[in-house]
Chains A and B, each alone.
Chain A
Amino acid sequence: MPNQPKFKRYVWELPVRWCHWTNVMSIVVLCVTGFFIGTPFSFGKSASDFTMGWIRFFHFTAAYLFTVSVISRIIWSFIGNRYSGWREFFPLATLKGREKMLRMLRYYLLLDRKVPETIGHNPLATSAYVCLFFLYSLMILTGFALYAQHAPGSPMYRVLGFMYALFSNQGMRLAHHFSMWLIVGFVINHIYSAWLMDIKERGGEISSMFSGYKFTVKKED
């Protein structure tokens, strides 16, 4: 039914969109600068240059921005609308969620031609986001634990003391570095899926992350 009328519906509130794009920008900056910190080129022309210094400065600044954004999004999941609420992230916990998830999975596996409509989050995506938030936490904790080593005994070093018990110094670097690649893998998946569903659903999937509105078959209640 290509000519079916659709209704616009406000789905993503401003803080959700802000957090999303802050995450995007900070992850891009963090990946690029982080990769350079791990494998730098000899940029410096003289010993009084500050190439690595500035790159690390941007990495740490973006890290603070990212941390604030992630924490804000978690807080918003308790005060925002139902599409942004924390319940959305555990579709496996409810029967309805499991049904939705199965339909989505069948569609993704090319077993079903009916595109399931998702007004808020897609249940497969939210399950992936739970893993992603775990990765974010790992990145934030290992990152700041490594950062705090410049000032042992500082409040940050003390707060993150448990991390030094969980990881060796080099093991922490490896975890931080490897998790970046997992996030890169997620980003590829995420962009592809958003593009796919934008085409197939014709509900404004991608633009909804800018405007907040999606277009749905069902009129807003």
Chain B
Amino acid sequence: MGKEDFETTPNDLEQGLEKRKYSVGEILRERGVSRRDFLKFCSAVTAAMALPASFAPRVAEALDEVKRPPLVWMEFQDCAGDTEALLRAANPTVGEIVLDILSVDYHETIMAAAGHQAEAALEKTVNDYKGKYLCVVEGSIPMKDGGIYGCVGGKSHLDRARQVCGNAAATVAVGTCASYGGIAAAVPNPTGAVGVKEAVPGATVINLPGCPVNADNLTATIVHYLVFGKIPALDGHGRPLFAYGKRIHDNCERRPHFDAGQYVEHWGDDGHRRGFCLYKVGCKGPATFHNCPTQRYNEKTSWPVGAGHPCAGCSEPAFWDTMGPMYKRLPNVPGFGIEHTADKIGIGVAAGAAAAFAVHGVLNAVRKDKEPSDETREG
């Protein structure tokens, strides 16, 4: 169990850092979170981590003892949508608990400090807890022209990412922008936007793509780190398998309609009102790995497909460039202008071939050819 000991140097005696001596369990009791709520949270997060229910007591035990690690939240080229998603997490105080169990030393959107004071706090965390603090990144990092397209405190996003993510125990890239560059990285990508792992290849990065990130997955990732002392198992795109190990299509509540052959043909038609499959109106669930159908958003209220809108494929790399058009099954064929689908071109190919051979056949029918004979024989 990763019991990181953060009660170290003597210059840590400022009030914020003092609290780190207490365990997560103590802090929660201090804040008036009942034991029952705490155990409920542990069960929920155990399920989110795709662990068997028997792990819940062990998660509770470990969280009781683990010391709160410092955390910094960096915003680069972003819309703060992931911050919103986390702050709006209304679940069994889950989102709250995450914020409370962590010592958030720096978060541009919600911190009270400003200017040099804020930058000093960041500097202090990075220096004093080198290799021990957690970093959450929101937004892509512009690389073009030396990274001049984004600056905070006189330093480019790229320099800040190298310094802060490079020295963190682990960096959680929340949202598609921080993971793969997201919308900012869409063609023509004017700022040369990339995800954290590409900007700082040496950093330990966990990608939690999605637009926005599902706050429950962020909670589960951080709890996993606190409980096991290591990052969760990742897939080929750096995403935790517990949240991105299955396709949306394979866990979708509308899947029986897909297998049955019941599809929404037009918006608002009978099938749409009856909750049929959104495959024909461009759902990218068959191409997208995420736990949206099971975890859902906003206190597990709903998710796009649940609300009657096809999946946009937001948690896949290069989604803006590869998942469009949003309401069509297949991408348009590049180089043929707008609205040229594979089928239109394919029918053209087949009809062209048929026409050419029909003409050839007619010409051959009227010709008198010489049948193979001794002169033309083979061999």
Contacts and interface: CB of A to CB of B under 8 A. Distances in A.
B354 A161 contact: no
B354 A1 contact: no
Interface in B250-296: 250, 256-263, 265, 271, 276, 279-280, 284, 286-289
B333 A174 contact: yes
Contact of B346 (A42, A169, A180, A217): A180
A200 to B, nearest CB: 6
B360 interface: yes
B99 interface: no
Interface residues on B, range: 35 or more
A40 B342 CA distance: 16
Interface in A182-207: 182, 184-185, 188-189, 192, 195-196, 200-203
A218 B271 CA distance: 67
B262 A47 contact: yes
B145 interface: no
Interface in A142-195: 149-150, 152-153, 161, 164, 168-171, 173-174, 177-178, 180-182, 184-185, 188-189, 192, 195
B318 interface: yes
A133 interface: no
Interface string A104-131: 0001101001111111000000000000
Nearest to B349: A185
A218 B350 contact: no
B372 A115 contact: yes
B370 to A, nearest CB: 5
A49 B256 CA distance: 8
B372 A201 contact: yes
Contact of B373 (A50, A113, A171, A217): A217
A110 B367 contact: yes
Nearest to A218: B377
B261 A150 contact: no
Contact of B260 (A44, A181, A203): A44
Interface string B323-342: 10000011101000000001
A170 B364 contact: no
Interface in B210-267: 235-236, 241, 245-247, 250, 256-263, 265
A141 B285 CA distance: 21
A4 interface: yes
A114 B259 CA distance: 56
B377 A150 contact: no
Given A188-B354, A200-B369, A116 B376 contact: yes
Contacts of B333: 174, 178
B284 A170 contact: yes
A170 B283 CA distance: 11
A184 B354 CA distance: 10
B361 interface: yes
B378 A118 contact: yes
Nearest to A195: B361
A185 B261 contact: no
A110 B367 CA distance: 9
B318 A168 contact: yes
Interface in B129-166: none
A42 B279 contact: no
B364 A152 contact: no
A85 B312 CA distance: 49
A54 to B, nearest CB: 9
B361 A192 contact: yes
B257 A44 contact: yes
B236 A161 contact: yes
Given A53-B259, A174-B330, A218 B346 contact: no
Nearest to B265: A42
A152 B289 contact: yes
Contacts of A94: none
Select the residue from A41, A47, A150 with max chain B CB neighbours within 10 A.
Answer: A47
B253 to A, nearest CB: 11
Nearest to B244: A152
Nearest to B379: A218
B316 interface: yes
B55 interface: no
B111 interface: no
B361 A196 contact: yes
B113 interface: no
Contacts of A177: 330, 342-343, 346
A2 B376 CA distance: 14
Given A4-B373, A217-B373, A218-B379, A44 B331 contact: no
A117 B329 contact: no
Interface of A: 1-2, 4, 38-44, 46-53, 100, 107-108, 110, 113-119, 149-150, 152-153, 161, 164, 168-171, 173-174, 177-178, 180-182, 184-185, 188-189, 192, 195-196, 200-203, 216-218
7 contacts: A51-B259, A110-B360, A152-B247, A153-B245, A169-B322, A174-B331, A196-B361
Pairs A-B, 6 closest by C-beta atoms: A181-B346, A51-B261, A117-B372, A44-B261, A44-B260, A169-B287
Given A113-B368, A216-B378, 5 more contacts: A52-B260, A116-B378, A169-B288, A171-B322, A217-B377
